Amino acid sequence: MNAEPEQLSEPPSSDRASQGHLKRKAECKMKQVDEYAGVDVSKAQLDVALRVSGRHWSVTNDETGIAEVVTELHAIRPVLIVLEATGHLEMPLTAALLAAGLAVAVVNPRQVRDFAKATGQLAKTDTLDAQVLAHFAEAVRPPARPLPDANTQALAAVVTRRRQVVEMLTAERNRCGSAPAAIRPRIEQHIAWLVEELADLDTDLQQRVQASPAWQTQAQMLQSIPGIGPTTACTLLAELPELGHLDRRKIAALVGVAPFNRDSGPRHRQRHIWGGRTAVRTTLYMATLVATRCNPVIQRFYQRLLEAGKPKKVALTACMRKILTIANAMLKHNLYWNPEYPSQVIA
Protein backbone atom coordinates (compact mmCIF):
# COMPACT_ATOMS: atom_id res chain seq x y z
CA MET A 1 0.00 0.00 0.00
CA ASN A 2 1.06 3.50 -0.74
CA ALA A 3 1.51 5.54 2.39
CA GLU A 4 -0.70 8.60 2.69
CA PRO A 5 1.17 11.87 2.28
CA GLU A 6 2.19 13.38 5.58
CA GLN A 7 -0.05 16.26 6.69
CA LEU A 8 2.04 19.29 7.57
CA SER A 9 0.69 21.08 10.59
CA GLU A 10 0.22 24.85 10.29
CA PRO A 11 2.62 26.81 12.50
CA PRO A 12 1.11 28.72 15.40
CA SER A 13 0.02 32.31 14.83
CA SER A 14 2.94 33.66 16.90
CA ASP A 15 5.41 31.75 14.68
CA ARG A 16 3.68 33.02 11.55
CA ALA A 17 3.94 36.60 12.82
CA SER A 18 7.63 36.09 13.60
CA GLN A 19 8.24 34.59 10.17
CA GLY A 20 6.39 37.52 8.55
CA HIS A 21 8.50 39.99 10.48
CA LEU A 22 11.73 38.25 9.46
CA LYS A 23 10.57 38.11 5.83
CA ARG A 24 9.77 41.85 5.76
CA LYS A 25 13.08 42.62 7.44
CA ALA A 26 14.98 40.56 4.86
CA GLU A 27 13.12 42.23 2.00
CA CYS A 28 13.92 45.69 3.40
CA LYS A 29 17.57 44.74 3.69
CA MET A 30 17.69 43.43 0.12
CA LYS A 31 15.87 46.40 -1.40
CA GLN A 32 17.55 49.02 0.84
CA VAL A 33 14.16 50.62 1.53
CA ASP A 34 14.13 53.79 3.59
CA GLU A 35 12.88 53.16 7.11
CA TYR A 36 10.72 55.46 9.25
CA ALA A 37 10.16 55.23 13.00
CA GLY A 38 7.54 56.42 15.45
CA VAL A 39 7.89 56.57 19.22
CA ASP A 40 4.90 56.93 21.54
CA VAL A 41 6.07 58.52 24.79
CA SER A 42 4.27 58.04 28.08
CA LYS A 43 5.39 58.67 31.65
CA ALA A 44 6.42 55.05 32.27
CA GLN A 45 7.00 53.55 28.82
CA LEU A 46 8.37 54.13 25.33
CA ASP A 47 6.71 52.28 22.44
CA VAL A 48 8.74 52.17 19.22
CA ALA A 49 7.42 51.12 15.80
CA LEU A 50 9.14 50.83 12.42
CA ARG A 51 7.02 51.53 9.39
CA VAL A 52 8.60 49.36 6.67
CA SER A 53 9.77 46.30 8.60
CA GLY A 54 6.73 46.32 10.90
CA ARG A 55 8.83 45.75 14.00
CA HIS A 56 7.73 47.23 17.31
CA TRP A 57 8.95 46.99 20.89
CA SER A 58 8.50 48.65 24.29
CA VAL A 59 10.97 49.77 26.95
CA THR A 60 10.75 51.69 30.20
CA ASN A 61 10.97 55.47 30.01
CA ASP A 62 14.16 55.89 31.98
CA GLU A 63 17.86 56.21 31.24
CA THR A 64 18.23 52.49 30.51
CA GLY A 65 15.24 52.39 28.17
CA ILE A 66 16.26 55.58 26.36
CA ALA A 67 19.78 54.20 25.84
CA GLU A 68 18.31 50.98 24.40
CA VAL A 69 16.06 52.89 21.97
CA VAL A 70 18.94 55.09 20.84
CA THR A 71 21.19 52.06 20.28
CA GLU A 72 18.55 50.20 18.27
CA LEU A 73 17.57 53.18 16.12
CA HIS A 74 21.18 54.20 15.57
CA ALA A 75 21.85 50.76 14.10
CA ILE A 76 18.78 51.01 11.84
CA ARG A 77 19.38 54.68 10.85
CA PRO A 78 15.78 55.58 9.93
CA VAL A 79 15.24 58.52 7.60
CA LEU A 80 13.02 60.21 10.19
CA ILE A 81 11.84 59.56 13.75
CA VAL A 82 8.57 61.19 14.81
CA LEU A 83 7.44 61.84 18.40
CA GLU A 84 4.45 63.73 19.79
CA ALA A 85 4.81 66.75 22.04
CA THR A 86 3.70 65.38 25.41
CA GLY A 87 4.30 68.13 27.95
CA HIS A 88 8.12 67.84 27.88
CA LEU A 89 8.08 64.08 28.59
CA GLU A 90 9.59 63.62 25.14
CA MET A 91 12.55 65.96 25.79
CA PRO A 92 15.07 63.44 27.26
CA LEU A 93 14.55 60.96 24.41
CA THR A 94 14.61 63.72 21.78
CA ALA A 95 17.88 65.08 23.15
CA ALA A 96 19.44 61.60 23.19
CA LEU A 97 18.35 60.85 19.62
CA LEU A 98 19.66 64.19 18.34
CA ALA A 99 22.94 63.66 20.17
CA ALA A 100 23.25 60.34 18.29
CA GLY A 101 22.93 62.18 14.98
CA LEU A 102 19.43 60.98 14.13
CA ALA A 103 16.72 63.07 12.40
CA VAL A 104 13.86 63.76 14.83
CA ALA A 105 10.61 65.67 14.42
CA VAL A 106 8.38 66.54 17.40
CA VAL A 107 4.85 67.11 16.09
CA ASN A 108 1.51 68.36 17.38
CA PRO A 109 -0.61 65.46 18.75
CA ARG A 110 -3.72 66.91 17.09
CA GLN A 111 -2.13 66.51 13.66
CA VAL A 112 -1.30 62.87 14.32
CA ARG A 113 -4.78 62.10 15.67
CA ASP A 114 -6.40 63.69 12.62
CA PHE A 115 -4.05 61.68 10.40
CA ALA A 116 -5.03 58.45 12.19
CA LYS A 117 -8.73 59.17 11.68
CA ALA A 118 -8.13 60.00 8.02
CA THR A 119 -6.45 56.62 7.52
CA GLY A 120 -9.28 54.77 9.29
CA GLN A 121 -7.31 54.03 12.47
CA LEU A 122 -9.90 54.76 15.17
CA ALA A 123 -8.61 52.46 17.89
CA LYS A 124 -6.00 53.90 20.22
CA THR A 125 -3.34 52.02 22.18
CA ASP A 126 0.31 52.77 22.85
CA THR A 127 1.42 50.27 20.20
CA LEU A 128 -1.07 51.56 17.64
CA ASP A 129 -0.05 55.15 18.38
CA ALA A 130 3.59 54.29 17.69
CA GLN A 131 2.60 52.65 14.40
CA VAL A 132 0.52 55.69 13.42
CA LEU A 133 3.51 57.95 14.18
CA ALA A 134 5.72 55.81 11.94
CA HIS A 135 3.09 55.97 9.17
CA PHE A 136 2.84 59.74 9.70
CA ALA A 137 6.63 60.04 9.35
CA GLU A 138 6.58 58.19 6.03
CA ALA A 139 3.51 59.89 4.53
CA VAL A 140 3.82 63.48 5.79
CA ARG A 141 7.57 63.73 6.44
CA PRO A 142 7.48 66.71 8.82
CA PRO A 143 10.70 68.72 8.88
CA ALA A 144 13.26 67.65 11.44
CA ARG A 145 14.19 70.55 13.72
CA PRO A 146 17.09 70.83 16.16
CA LEU A 147 16.37 70.86 19.87
CA PRO A 148 16.75 74.27 21.54
CA ASP A 149 19.99 74.59 23.49
CA ALA A 150 20.07 74.26 27.27
CA ASN A 151 20.00 78.03 27.87
CA THR A 152 16.93 78.48 25.67
CA GLN A 153 15.16 75.61 27.41
CA ALA A 154 15.96 77.12 30.81
CA LEU A 155 14.70 80.54 29.71
CA ALA A 156 11.50 78.97 28.39
CA ALA A 157 11.01 77.15 31.70
CA VAL A 158 11.33 80.40 33.68
CA VAL A 159 8.91 82.16 31.29
CA THR A 160 6.41 79.31 31.75
CA ARG A 161 6.76 79.44 35.52
CA ARG A 162 6.21 83.20 35.52
CA ARG A 163 3.00 82.71 33.54
CA GLN A 164 1.83 80.10 36.07
CA VAL A 165 2.56 82.42 39.00
CA VAL A 166 0.62 85.26 37.35
CA GLU A 167 -2.37 82.93 36.87
CA MET A 168 -2.23 81.83 40.52
CA LEU A 169 -1.88 85.41 41.68
CA THR A 170 -4.95 86.47 39.71
CA ALA A 171 -6.96 83.54 41.08
CA GLU A 172 -5.97 84.26 44.69
CA ARG A 173 -6.81 87.95 44.37
CA ASN A 174 -10.23 87.05 43.01
CA ARG A 175 -10.81 84.67 45.92
CA CYS A 176 -9.69 87.14 48.53
CA GLY A 177 -12.51 89.56 47.85
CA SER A 178 -15.26 87.07 48.74
CA ALA A 179 -13.34 84.82 51.13
CA PRO A 180 -14.62 84.32 54.72
CA ALA A 181 -12.75 86.23 57.40
CA ALA A 182 -11.40 82.96 58.85
CA ILE A 183 -9.27 82.16 55.77
CA ARG A 184 -8.67 85.62 54.30
CA PRO A 185 -5.33 86.11 56.16
CA ARG A 186 -4.05 82.83 54.66
CA ILE A 187 -4.96 83.96 51.16
CA GLU A 188 -3.32 87.34 51.74
CA GLN A 189 -0.19 85.56 52.97
CA HIS A 190 -0.13 83.45 49.81
CA ILE A 191 -0.65 86.55 47.65
CA ALA A 192 2.33 88.22 49.34
CA TRP A 193 4.49 85.16 48.64
CA LEU A 194 3.35 85.06 45.00
CA VAL A 195 4.21 88.75 44.55
CA GLU A 196 7.72 88.10 45.87
CA GLU A 197 8.07 85.01 43.65
CA LEU A 198 6.96 87.02 40.61
CA ALA A 199 9.58 89.68 41.35
CA ASP A 200 12.26 86.98 41.72
CA LEU A 201 11.25 85.43 38.40
CA ASP A 202 11.41 88.80 36.64
CA THR A 203 14.91 89.31 38.03
CA ASP A 204 15.92 85.81 36.93
CA LEU A 205 14.65 86.47 33.40
CA GLN A 206 16.57 89.73 33.12
CA GLN A 207 19.77 88.11 34.41
CA ARG A 208 19.52 85.27 31.90
CA VAL A 209 18.98 87.67 29.02
CA GLN A 210 21.83 89.92 30.17
CA ALA A 211 24.15 86.89 30.37
CA SER A 212 23.82 86.29 26.62
CA PRO A 213 25.13 89.06 24.31
CA ALA A 214 22.91 87.80 21.46
CA TRP A 215 19.77 87.76 23.63
CA GLN A 216 20.65 91.12 25.12
CA THR A 217 20.85 92.74 21.67
CA GLN A 218 17.69 91.05 20.44
CA ALA A 219 15.78 92.02 23.59
CA GLN A 220 16.84 95.65 23.14
CA MET A 221 15.66 95.58 19.52
CA LEU A 222 12.28 94.12 20.52
CA GLN A 223 11.79 96.52 23.43
CA SER A 224 12.49 99.47 21.14
CA ILE A 225 9.05 98.76 19.62
CA PRO A 226 6.51 100.85 21.61
CA GLY A 227 4.22 98.37 23.35
CA ILE A 228 6.72 95.53 23.82
CA GLY A 229 8.15 95.29 27.32
CA PRO A 230 10.68 92.97 29.00
CA THR A 231 8.17 90.16 29.59
CA THR A 232 6.99 90.09 25.97
CA ALA A 233 10.59 90.24 24.72
CA CYS A 234 11.62 87.31 26.94
CA THR A 235 8.58 85.31 25.83
CA LEU A 236 9.41 85.87 22.15
CA LEU A 237 13.06 84.92 22.66
CA ALA A 238 12.26 81.78 24.65
CA GLU A 239 9.17 80.41 22.95
CA LEU A 240 9.60 81.73 19.40
CA PRO A 241 13.25 81.09 18.47
CA GLU A 242 12.19 81.10 14.80
CA LEU A 243 11.62 84.87 14.99
CA GLY A 244 13.89 86.57 12.49
CA HIS A 245 14.50 83.39 10.50
CA LEU A 246 11.16 82.92 8.68
CA ASP A 247 9.18 85.08 6.29
CA ARG A 248 6.20 87.07 7.54
CA ARG A 249 3.57 84.54 6.39
CA LYS A 250 5.24 81.55 8.04
CA ILE A 251 5.92 83.35 11.32
CA ALA A 252 2.29 84.56 11.48
CA ALA A 253 0.99 81.03 10.88
CA LEU A 254 3.41 79.62 13.47
CA VAL A 255 2.12 81.96 16.17
CA GLY A 256 -1.50 81.54 15.09
CA VAL A 257 -2.39 85.06 13.95
CA ALA A 258 -2.75 84.26 10.24
CA PRO A 259 -6.39 83.95 9.04
CA PHE A 260 -7.22 80.85 7.01
CA ASN A 261 -9.81 80.64 4.25
CA ARG A 262 -12.95 78.52 4.68
CA ASP A 263 -14.35 78.75 1.16
CA SER A 264 -16.34 76.05 -0.62
CA GLY A 265 -17.70 76.48 -4.12
CA PRO A 266 -19.53 79.78 -4.44
CA ARG A 267 -19.58 80.32 -0.67
CA HIS A 268 -16.89 82.53 0.84
CA ARG A 269 -16.99 82.24 4.61
CA GLN A 270 -15.32 84.45 7.15
CA ARG A 271 -11.66 83.68 7.69
CA HIS A 272 -10.45 82.68 11.16
CA ILE A 273 -7.10 82.21 12.86
CA TRP A 274 -6.30 78.65 13.90
CA GLY A 275 -3.71 76.80 15.96
CA GLY A 276 -0.36 78.35 16.78
CA ARG A 277 1.52 78.88 20.02
CA THR A 278 -0.98 80.01 22.61
CA ALA A 279 1.52 81.41 25.11
CA VAL A 280 3.15 83.65 22.49
CA ARG A 281 -0.21 84.78 21.14
CA THR A 282 -1.54 85.64 24.61
CA THR A 283 1.51 87.73 25.49
CA LEU A 284 1.46 89.42 22.10
CA TYR A 285 -2.21 90.29 22.57
CA MET A 286 -1.48 92.24 25.75
CA ALA A 287 1.42 94.02 24.06
CA THR A 288 -0.86 94.94 21.16
CA LEU A 289 -3.42 96.50 23.50
CA VAL A 290 -0.68 98.79 24.79
CA ALA A 291 0.62 99.47 21.27
CA THR A 292 -2.78 100.68 20.05
CA ARG A 293 -2.42 103.53 22.57
CA CYS A 294 1.30 104.37 22.52
CA ASN A 295 2.65 103.16 19.18
CA PRO A 296 1.81 105.70 16.44
CA VAL A 297 2.16 103.18 13.59
CA ILE A 298 -0.06 100.56 15.23
CA GLN A 299 -2.49 103.22 16.48
CA ARG A 300 -3.06 104.61 12.98
CA PHE A 301 -3.39 101.10 11.56
CA TYR A 302 -5.91 100.14 14.26
CA GLN A 303 -8.02 103.28 13.75
CA ARG A 304 -8.03 102.77 9.98
CA LEU A 305 -9.38 99.23 10.40
CA LEU A 306 -12.09 100.41 12.78
CA GLU A 307 -13.13 103.16 10.38
CA ALA A 308 -13.36 100.54 7.64
CA GLY A 309 -15.97 98.70 9.72
CA LYS A 310 -13.79 95.89 11.11
CA PRO A 311 -14.80 94.49 14.51
CA LYS A 312 -12.41 95.43 17.32
CA LYS A 313 -11.24 91.85 17.83
CA VAL A 314 -10.46 91.46 14.12
CA ALA A 315 -8.61 94.79 14.14
CA LEU A 316 -6.58 93.76 17.20
CA THR A 317 -5.64 90.45 15.57
CA ALA A 318 -4.46 92.32 12.48
CA CYS A 319 -2.41 94.62 14.71
CA MET A 320 -0.87 91.58 16.43
CA ARG A 321 0.16 90.24 13.04
CA LYS A 322 1.63 93.63 12.07
CA ILE A 323 3.69 93.90 15.28
CA LEU A 324 4.93 90.34 14.78
CA THR A 325 5.87 91.12 11.18
CA ILE A 326 7.79 94.23 12.26
CA ALA A 327 9.60 92.35 15.05
CA ASN A 328 10.48 89.52 12.65
CA ALA A 329 11.95 91.95 10.09
CA MET A 330 13.87 93.90 12.74
CA LEU A 331 15.61 90.79 14.08
CA LYS A 332 16.27 89.54 10.55
CA HIS A 333 17.97 92.78 9.48
CA ASN A 334 19.39 93.81 12.91
CA LEU A 335 17.36 97.00 13.07
CA TYR A 336 15.95 99.06 15.92
CA TRP A 337 12.49 100.59 15.87
CA ASN A 338 11.98 103.47 13.49
CA PRO A 339 8.42 104.59 12.62
CA GLU A 340 9.70 106.01 9.33
CA TYR A 341 10.66 102.61 7.89
CA PRO A 342 9.05 102.05 4.49
CA SER A 343 6.77 99.05 4.12
CA GLN A 344 9.41 97.28 1.99
CA VAL A 345 11.79 97.13 4.97
CA ILE A 346 9.35 95.56 7.44
CA ALA A 347 7.62 93.22 4.95
Instruction: State whether 84 and 153 are in the same domain.
Output: no
Residues 330 and 245 placed together within one structural domain of the fold: yes
Q: Which of 116, 139, 162 finishes a domain?
A: 139
* Distance, CA of 35 to chain centre: 25
| Number of C-beta neighbours around residue 162 at 10 A | 20
Helix (DSSP H) and strand (DSSP E) numbers for the chain: 14, 9
pTM above 0.75, yes or no: no
pLDDT confidence bin for 345, thresholds 50/70/90: low
Pick from 26-35, 66-75, 160-169: least confident:
26-35
Query: Are 275 and 312 members of one domain?
Result: yes
Same domain flag for 124 and 182 = no
Percent of residues, the chain, with pLDDT higher than 70: 86
Q: Residue 273: pLDDT above 80?
A: no
321 is a domain residue = yes
8 part of a folded domain: no
pLDDT digits (tens, 9 = 90+) for 51-89: 999 999 999 999 999 999 999 999 999 999 999 988 788
Is residue 263 domain-shared with residue 287, that is, in the same domain? yes
Do residues 204 and 310 both lie within one domain? no
**Structural domain range at position 157:** 149-211
Query: pLDDT tens digit string along 106-146?
Result: 998 988 999 999 999 888 899 999 999 999 999 999 988 88
Claim to verify: residue 218 and residue 187 sit in the same structural domain: no
- Give the domain-ending residue among 102, 119, 139: 139
123: CATH = 3.30.420.10
User: 190 lies in a domain?
Assistant: yes
pLDDT value, residue 26:
54
3-state helix, strand, coil in the chain (%, to 5): 60, 10, 30
Instruction: Decide which of 160, 186, 211 is a domain's last residue.
Output: 211
Answer whether residue 78 is part of any domain: yes
Q: How many domains does the chain have?
A: 3
Q: Are residues 158 and 266 in the same domain?
A: no
The answer to whether position 176 is within a domain reads yes
Average pLDDT of span 270-285: 83
238, 321: one domain? yes
- For residue 1, being part of any structural domain is answered with no
Tell me the C-alpha to C-alpha distance, in Å, between residue 16 and each of 7, 12, 21: 18, 6, 9
The pLDDT of residue 217 is above 90: yes
259 and 340 belong to one structural domain: yes
* Averaged pLDDT for residues 322-345: 83
Q: How far apart are CA 279 and CA 151, in angstroms?
A: 19
Residue 343 has pLDDT above 80, yes or no: no
Is the same domain home to 46 and 85?
A: yes
Residues 308-322: what's their mean pLDDT?
93
